[in-house]
Amino acid sequence: MAFQKRELLLVVGVILITIGLLGVGLPLIYSVIISVGIYAAIKLYVAKSKKSIAKKVGEGLCALCGSKVENGVCPNCDSKPE
């Protein structure tokens, strides 16, 4: 898995959250724990959503009707006689 630009944005965002929590007066250890928790929660959410999208799309989408392609054929378009 390559390091991508959105990963860098997430890390920068978490660092800014940590700095913001320090500015409010929270001790360093608590702000780091909260920031790491936020980072882990976002990573888990993104992984689950990617898995969900891959499951819904399957092999792809039909260009004509937009339904899910299964076993290389569209169940709506390929079953209709022309």
Q: Tell whether the model's pLDDT for residue 81 goes beyond 50.
A: no
- pLDDT category of residue 77 using cuts at 50, 70 and 90: confident
The residues, any chain, with a CB within 8 Å of residue 74's CB and separated by 6 or more, are 62, 64, 65, 67
Q: Tell whether the model's pLDDT for residue 80 goes beyond 50.
A: no
Rounded to a whole number of angstroms, the CA Rg of the chain reads 21
pLDDT of residue 27: 94
Angle at 53 between CA 51 and CA 55, to 5 degrees: 70
Mean pLDDT, all residues of the chain: 84
Look up the pTM and report it. Answer: 0.69
Q: What percent of the chain has pLDDT over 90?
A: 50
